[in-house]
Structure 1
Amino acid sequence: MSSTETASTRKTSPRTRWTSTDIGLIAVFAALVAASTLIPGIPVGALGVPITLQTLTVILTGLVLGGGRAFAAVGLYTLLGFAGLPIFSGGRSGLGILATPSAGYIIAFPLAAAATGWLAAIVIRKTVKYRAVFLFAAAMISTIVLIHGLGVLGFMVNGKFDFAKAFLADLPYYPGDTIKNVLAAIIAVSLHKAFPDILVRRVK
């Protein structure tokens, strides 16, 4: 597929079932999200919820794999963490993390990956020019609505904050997430260029 090909001339077909390659990609990206927690986070605010690379890998998973596979990959990571593997930030694990201020963010990760992936599939099918911009927009929508939205809710439920205080506690994460979403979009565009069938299959 040439770079000058327009969206209207491209023919793609949706993925109707997963192959062994899809299963492999799900495992690889689940491992990528887990590996991102090995880099120490930066504690922020009174509750100490750290800034980590997890959101970068979660969003990148959505941008590359699409909704269903991204949800499976990040969901697998989350379930393994709940089961006791020390793969949450700071080496934490277990269901007890649902009682911490981080709970909202962790619950949001599979949902954000799925939403980002769903939007990314539309972008890949419909656009050629400015694809990075649209993928960045998809990442920001999912990040703000789901990750930050549920993050604020976690502060309110487990941190006992009112909405205003929870919203302010969440604000310091916006600059970092914006930068990470720029990086995720750039990486995703490169991967889609190198592997055009990774998200949508072209009709031969």
Structure 2
Amino acid sequence: MSNASSSPTVSRSGARSMAQVSLFAALMAVMGLIPKIDLPLGVPITIQSLGVMLAGVMLGPWRGFQSMLLFLAAVAVGLPLLAGGRGGIAVFMSPSAGYLAGYSLAAAIVGALMAVLLKGSPQATPRRIAVSAFIAALLGGLVCLHAFGVLGLMLMAKLSLVQAFKVTLAFVPGDFIKCILCALIVHAVARGLPDWRFGGRA
């Protein structure tokens, strides 16, 4: 009897998780419609790293990881979802491959950090949630993502560590602004949807 009564709850929870994963994968696709800014070496500036940060803080590590993996799978099969209408396997062989490969893990790290920062605070204020989102986005969505980017530049563009680090510095100011935008968006969501499970917390 208890199994029968819990089944609808499990189904609803699973359906909600799938919907959220799909929603943030779709959000990444929408962000891909915003024009990119091309830089030397074929690594463009795009808004999509903001989507990585939001997926982590809003969904938590596992669903954030899944949403980015779903998005990258769609890109890999040829859908032109990256900024500038790019898609297909070739983009994973380009100098920006490291950043793309880091999307899923960066979202997971952002989500894990968000969960840790909010641990023990089920009734955290919107301000605290926003500050936590900024810190999580900064460490996971900026530091982690750029670490993958540097590695990709070294492997695909054949740059030295110092050269790759200098290239990725061009993205840091813009990504810092994205961390602030992430915190502002999260603050608005926390005020409008106080029951939202940021970082996948219980």
> Which TM-score tier does this pair reach, normalised by the shorter chain?
0.7 to 0.9
Give the aligned partner of residue 32 of structure 2. Answer: 37
Preserved CA contact (<8 Å) 2:110 2:140: yes
Unaligned residue ranges in structure 1 (runs of 5+): 1-15
Aligned 1:129-144 pairs, distance under 5 A:
130-144=128-142
Preserved CA contact (<8 Å) 2:61 2:107: yes
Instruction: Give 3-state SS (helix, strand or coil) of 2:158's partner.
Output: coil
Give 1:115's match in structure 2, choosing from 86, 97, 109.
109
Higher strand share: 1
| Identical positions, percent | 38
Give the aligned partner of residue 161 of structure 2. Answer: 163
Preserved CA contact (<8 Å) 1:65 1:198: no
Give the superposition deviation at 1:196: 3.0
1:137-192 Cα deviation digits (max 9, x unpaired): 11110133321001011111100100111100100100000001100111112213
Preserved CA contact (<8 Å) 1:63 1:185: no
Preserved CA contact (<8 Å) 2:52 2:103: yes
Give the aligned partner of residue 61 of structure 2. Answer: 67
Give the superposition deviation at 1:133: 2.0
Measure the CA separation in 2 of the matches of 1:69 and 1:196. Answer: 20
Unaligned residue ranges in structure 2 (runs of 5+): 1-9
Give the aligned partner of residue 11 of structure 1. Answer: none
Sort the Cα spacing of 1:157 and 1:193 in 2 relative to 1 into closer, same or farther, 3 A: same
Sort the Cα spacing of 1:165 and 1:191 in 2 relative to 1 into closer, same or farther, 3 A: same
Q: Which amino acid aligns with 1:92?
A: R
| Higher relative contact order structure (alpha carbons within 8 Å, sequence separation ≥ 6) | 1
Aligned 1:1-204 pairs, distance under 5 A:
18-44=13-39, 46-125=40-119, 126=121, 127-128=124-125, 130-199=128-197
Q: Aligned residues, how many? A: 187
1:108-155 Cα deviation digits (max 9, x unpaired): 011111111111122334353533222211111013332100101111
Instruction: Give 3-state SS (helix, strand or coil) of 2:71's partner.
Output: helix
Instruction: Give 3-state SS (helix, strand or coil) of 1:43's partner.
Output: coil
Higher helix share: 2
Task: Give the alignment's TM-score, normalised by structure 1.
Answer: 0.84
1:59-91 Cα deviation digits (max 9, x unpaired): 011111111111111110011101111112221
Measure the CA separation in 2 of the matches of 1:86 and 1:135. Answer: 29
Measure the CA separation in 2 of the matches of 1:153 and 1:28. Answer: 29
Measure the CA separation in 2 of the matches of 1:187 and 1:154. Answer: 30
C-alpha RMSD of the superposition: 2.1
- Greater shift in the superposed pair: 70-79 or 183-192: 183-192
Measure the CA separation in 2 of the matches of 1:188 and 1:23. Answer: 21
Give the superposition deviation at 1:202: 8.9
